[in-house]
Amino acid sequence: MTTFDEKLVSVLGKKSADALEAGLGLATVGELLRHYPRRYDERGKLTEIAKLEMGEHVTVQARVKSARQRRMKSRSGELLEAVITDGTSDLHLVFFGRGSRKIERELLPGREAMFAGKVGMFNGKLQLAHPDYQVLDGEDENAADFAGAFIPVYPAAQGIQSWNVSNCVEQVLAVWDGVTEDPLPESLRAARGLIPLEKALRDIHRPDGWAAITVAQQRLKWDEAMAVQLALAQRRRSATARPAPACPPRSGLVRDAFEARLPFKLTAGQSEVGEQIAQDLSGEHPMNRLLQGEVGSGKTIVALRAMLQVVDAGRQAAMLAPTEVLAAQHARSLRELLGDLGQAGELGGAEHATRVTLLTGSMGAPARKRALLEIVSGEAGIVVGTHALIQDKVEFADLGLVVVDEQHRFGVEQRAALSGRAGGSTPHVLVMTATPIPRTVAMTVYGDLEVSALRELPQGRSPISTSVVPVASKPGWLDRAWQRIHEEVRKGHQVYVVCPRIGDGESEDSGSAEPPKEDGSDRRPPLAVVDVANRLAEGPLRGLRIDILHGRMPADDKDAVMRAFAANEVQVLVATTVVEVGVNVPNATVMVIMDADRFGVSQLHQLRGRVGRGSAPGLCLLVTEMPDGTSTMERLRAVESTLDGFELAQLDLELRREGDILGAAQSGRRSGLKMLSLLRDEDVIAEARVVAQEVVEADPELAAHPGLAGLVAGLLDDERAEYLEKA
């Protein structure tokens, strides 16, 4: 009896089971069988080397071109250098030490083999240091493992290669008893032409042709799509079933007064979304709305109008920002926008005025105490802070609305933490993001939110032009860039220089640059704010007023620097991605992003939105040492060529998926869907959404659908749950 739940150790023995568990986190038969091949190689069809991504663990089928022993210059000992090829591009291998004689005998020129390791760069060439390999032809005894036409290539890891996984799967399939009850109801399978789960799992690991693979994948995608959509449908159902503090609009109070003095006319989008939100806030059940709008599209006004409606209803609104810098800035700009309408209790405060209170973790004790008092007494109509505001269980008098600016780091978990905060009811939530979200992502990751968008920018925006500065091929361009900065500053403008790292000697905070790649070999560490600022001050930007900003500075310092920058006392701000979101200094016209290749597409787009916010046009320079022709460079070229955030978001998705198909990102530890592609499976996702909604409406607890309930449970306690939690 070998079932899904059986521990691998009883089937495979301790050694293999331990390796699977340690390397890939697979402990049961079910987990191994759900560990699908990343791709299939046909024997003799070589992997495209040019498309390999730096820093990724890859499995490559290639032909040996040369293998040569040599003595190391600096160290004593032996070194074997080999070159493998796909017929077009080469990849360099290097092996150190004793085994290299044997390796030289095995890696004969002309032989084909699978190689696995982490892609690095050495002397400007792609390299695998110490790869594992398995020869596919010749007399190698293991060659028999690859006798079939298809070689499944599995997500692998250090110490457990694709071919090891394949062997384990083989052994498990031989004794597996199969699936007793298919999780997808027969009616659903029949209507969509989906094959039974057992057949799908056997075929996915041991296909007899491409057709079998496609059919198996389709079935397995449905499992995943249904699990996600059922979970979301249940979540939507329970979220909207909860009571919320109703805040119907009231006339003649702060919101009306504020609107009467708005210095501009709302865009059509702002009014439309505003009306929708006003209606949501009036309701007895919590609003859960996501507002997407490009950088500069004017989301803050939309949020403020919503918050004022809540204040007029006698309740409080909280605005959460991802960093303290942003929180402080929001508090400042909300106070400015409100003027005397935000000065309740102060001299000169308007009639009905409210108060904006800032609360951050690093405030001094007396200030913090005062803020907490204002919040619990209800004096503070609008409370601005970081996400800690929610997690720290700060006590509100009557919290009606939570606005979350820049959603990246705010997930379902935090939203869940809100329930019960408003005296037994759940506050309304408005999440705002400047990162455009492709439809499939909206239907999955944000599938429990209503989505609205601001698609137009207010009048009077200046265009941003973007250029890649390829230091490798055009070394002179960087000097030109610094001259350009002098010119801008002479015109009275200001400049951001963004670096991926802080560099103050302490261990770096994660999340400063994305994607976080650990590159092997000789790739130097990312440029650091502190070093770059020093070098610029002594070199190309001598004479300019330069300062730095990063997440680990004390809050007061950060605040002081932001003020100084806003007042043009600082001309060049060298910073980490703390400037990524929401920072608004319209006089800044140039952004130079150092080591731009270390950032993701959407992140670069986000960053450059910091310039061109005033009447002068903005310029964004993407500085990189990456050579042309790499996929990293392609990514930068894409950012250079379009300002359409939706297009870039789609591209981000595509590039990540491409990485998967190529066997890059083969760690298998990534959370996320295994089979379902947010890029290609829009139809499955959309259909599953409809089916799931129907099922949950008729049977909210899935009592009559044990198979489906099992899928959802599997999703929720699986690491894949992370996929939903993390937004």
Taking the complex as a whole, how short is the minimal distance between the CB of residue 586 and ligand ADP, in angstroms?
A: 7
Rounded to an integer, what distance in angstroms lies between the CA atom of residue 259 and that of residue 195? Answer: 59
Contact between 585 and ligand ADP by CB under 6 A: the answer reads no
Q: Which does 381 bind (CB under 5 to 8 A by kind): ligand ADP, Mg ion, none?
A: none
List the interface residues with ligand ADP, window 216-245 (CB under 6 A): none
19, 77 Cβ separation under 8 angstroms: no
Tokens of 4: 């899904």
Taking the complex as a whole, how short is the minimal distance between the CB of residue 326 and Mg ion, in angstroms?
A: 8
Among 131, 293, 400, 503, binds ligand ADP (CB under 6 A): 293
Contact between 264 and ligand ADP by CB under 6 A: the answer reads yes
Contact between 458 and ligand ADP by CB under 6 A: the answer reads yes
Rounded to an integer, what distance in angstroms lies between the CA atom of residue 81 and that of residue 76? Answer: 16
Distance from the first to the final alpha carbon of the chain: 40
Site string for ligand ADP, 151-180 (x = CB under 6 A): ------------------------------
Rounded to an integer, what distance in angstroms lies between the CA atom of residue 107 and that of residue 688? Answer: 49
Q: Strand 494-498 vs strand 78-85: parallel, antiparallel, or unpaired?
A: unpaired
Rounded to an integer, what distance in angstroms lies between the CA atom of residue 498 and that of residue 595? Answer: 9
Taking the complex as a whole, how short is the minimal distance between the CB of residue 61 and Mg ion, in angstroms?
A: 48
Judged by CB, which is closer to ligand ADP: 245, or 269? 269
Taking the complex as a whole, how short is the minimal distance between the CB of residue 300 and Mg ion, in angstroms?
A: 5
Amino acid in position 446: Y
Taking the complex as a whole, how short is the minimal distance between the CB of residue 405 and Mg ion, in angstroms?
A: 6
Judged by CB, which is closer to ligand ADP: 150, or 258? 258
Q: Which does 584 bind (CB under 5 to 8 A by kind): ligand ADP, Mg ion, none?
A: ligand ADP
Q: How many residues bind Mg ion (CB under 5 A)?
A: 1
Contact between 323 and ligand ADP by CB under 6 A: the answer reads no
Judged by CB, which is closer to Mg ion: 414, or 606? 606
Among 300, 571, 650, 677, binds ligand ADP (CB under 6 A): 300
Rounded to an integer, what distance in angstroms lies between the CA atom of residue 60 and that of residue 305? Answer: 55
| DSSP SS3 for 422 | strand
Contact between 584 and ligand ADP by CB under 6 A: the answer reads yes
Judged by CB, which is closer to ligand ADP: 9, or 266? 266
In the block, residue with structure tokens 């810098």: 325
Judged by CB, which is closer to ligand ADP: 300, or 360? 300
287, 418 Cβ separation under 8 angstroms: no
How distant, in Å, are the alpha carbons of 469, 494, 499, 535 from that of 592?
A: 10, 11, 9, 15
Site string for ligand ADP, 679-698 (x = CB under 6 A): --------------------
Beta bridge partners of 453: 292
Judged by CB, which is closer to ligand ADP: 210, or 264? 264
Taking the complex as a whole, how short is the minimal distance between the CB of residue 582 and Mg ion, in angstroms?
A: 4
Identify which range of 152-160, 207-215, 264-272, 512-520 contacts ligand ADP by CB under 6 A: 264-272
Say which DSSP state 429 is in. Answer: E
Among 55, 117, 296, 659, binds ligand ADP (CB under 6 A): 296
Judged by CB, which is closer to ligand ADP: 145, or 456? 456
Rounded to an integer, what distance in angstroms lies between the CA atom of residue 124 and that of residue 101? Answer: 27
Q: Which does 183 bind (CB under 5 to 8 A by kind): Mg ion, ligand ADP, none?
A: none
Q: Which does 363 bind (CB under 5 to 8 A by kind): Mg ion, ligand ADP, none?
A: none
Amino acid in position 435: T
Judged by CB, which is closer to Mg ion: 520, or 582? 582
Taking the complex as a whole, how short is the minimal distance between the CB of residue 293 and Mg ion, in angstroms?
A: 9
| DSSP SS3 for 712 | helix
Within 13 A of 499's CA, how many CA atoms are on the CB side?
Answer: 24
List the interface residues with Mg ion, window 566-585 (CB under 5 A): 582
Judged by CB, which is closer to ligand ADP: 28, or 494? 494
Taking the complex as a whole, how short is the minimal distance between the CB of residue 447 and ligand ADP, in angstroms?
A: 23
Taking the complex as a whole, how short is the minimal distance between the CB of residue 91 and Mg ion, in angstroms?
A: 44
The alpha-helical segments, DSSP class H, found in 439-569 are: 439-444, 476-490, 529-538, 555-566
Taking the complex as a whole, how short is the minimal distance between the CB of residue 455 and Mg ion, in angstroms?
A: 16
Say which DSSP state 266 is in. Answer: P
Instruction: Tell whether the torsion through CA atoms of 194, 195, 198 and 201 is positive or negative.
Output: negative
Rounded to an integer, what distance in angstroms lies between the CA atom of residue 535 and that of residue 503? Answer: 13
Judged by CB, which is closer to ligand ADP: 301, or 692? 301
Q: Strand 588-593 vs strand 618-624: parallel, antiparallel, or unpaired?
A: parallel
| DSSP SS3 for 146 | helix
Contact between 306 and ligand ADP by CB under 6 A: the answer reads no
List the interface residues with ligand ADP, window 385-444 (CB under 6 A): 434
Contact between 295 and ligand ADP by CB under 6 A: the answer reads yes
Rounded to an integer, what distance in angstroms lies between the CA atom of residue 359 and that of residue 396? Answer: 12
Q: Which does 330 bind (CB under 5 to 8 A by kind): Mg ion, ligand ADP, none?
A: none
287, 429 Cβ separation under 8 angstroms: yes
Taking the complex as a whole, how short is the minimal distance between the CB of residue 594 and Mg ion, in angstroms?
A: 24
Report the interhelical angle of 210-241 vs 197-205 (nearest 10°). 130
Contact between 645 and Mg ion by CB under 5 A: the answer reads no
Taking the complex as a whole, how short is the minimal distance between the CB of residue 458 and ligand ADP, in angstroms?
A: 3
Secondary structure element (H or E) that encloses residue 432, with its range = strand 428-433
Q: Strand 450-454 vs strand 90-96: parallel, antiparallel, or unpaired?
A: unpaired
Contact between 301 and ligand ADP by CB under 6 A: the answer reads yes
Amino acid in position 24: L
Contact between 339 and ligand ADP by CB under 6 A: the answer reads no
Amino acid in position 383: V
Contact between 297 and ligand ADP by CB under 6 A: the answer reads yes
Q: Which does 234 bind (CB under 5 to 8 A by kind): ligand ADP, Mg ion, none?
A: none
Judged by CB, which is closer to ligand ADP: 321, or 527? 321
CB atoms within 10 A of CB 263: 5
Judged by CB, which is closer to ligand ADP: 286, or 612? 612
Within 13 A of 443's CA, how many CA atoms are on the CB side?
Answer: 23
Contact between 131 and Mg ion by CB under 5 A: the answer reads no
Secondary structure element (H or E) that encloses residue 66, with its range = strand 57-71
Beta bridge partners of 618: 464
Taking the complex as a whole, how short is the minimal distance between the CB of residue 316 and ligand ADP, in angstroms?
A: 21
Q: How many residues bind ligand ADP (CB under 6 A)?
A: 15
Of residues 665, 654, 672, 660, the one with CA closest to residue 720: 672
The contact set with ligand ADP (CB under 6 A) reads: 264, 266-267, 270, 293, 295-301, 434, 458, 584
The contact set with Mg ion (CB under 5 A) reads: 582
